[in-house]
């Protein structure tokens, strides 16, 4: 069992503290491990759940970035 399989079910609290790049990189690792096939169904489910948490975190970052860009565009239109 490698380090990723040993800790796939980290809490959602620790996911909330990840930067976009950290969440994205871990999500890539989780997907790669799922594609290789985890040894047990329980490990596969834990990886899937972790991937869902990481995906949601990335989406939060991207939506926040979009809001910032939209706000910046709106500020530029007022001048």
CA distance 36 to 31: 9
**Helices assigned H by DSSP within 1-79:** 3-6, 12-16, 20-36, 41-77
User: Residue 52 and residue 9: Cα distance in Å, rounded?
Assistant: 11
Quick: pLDDT tens for 56-71: 999 999 999 999 999 9
Task: Quote the pTM value.
Answer: 0.76
4 pLDDT more than 60: no
Residue 1: predicted pLDDT: 38
CA 73/CA 52 separation, integer angstroms: 31
Which residue segments constitute the domains of the chain, with CATH numbers given? 16-77 (1.10.287)
Q: What confidence tens digit (pLDDT) does each residue in 8-47 have?
A: 556 777 999 999 999 999 999 999 999 999 889 999 999 9
Residues 6+ apart with CB under 8 A from 52: none
């Amino acid at each position: 069992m490698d380090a990723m399989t040993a800790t796939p079910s980290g809490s959602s609290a620790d996911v909330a503290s990840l930067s976009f790049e950290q969440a994205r990189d871990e999500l890539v690792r989780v997907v790669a491990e799922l594609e290789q096939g985890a040894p047990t169904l329980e490990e596969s489910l834990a990886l899937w759940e972790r991937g869902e948490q990481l995906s949601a975190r990335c989406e939060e970052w991207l939506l926040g970035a979009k809001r910032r860009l939209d706000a910046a565009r709106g500020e530029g239109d007022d001048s």
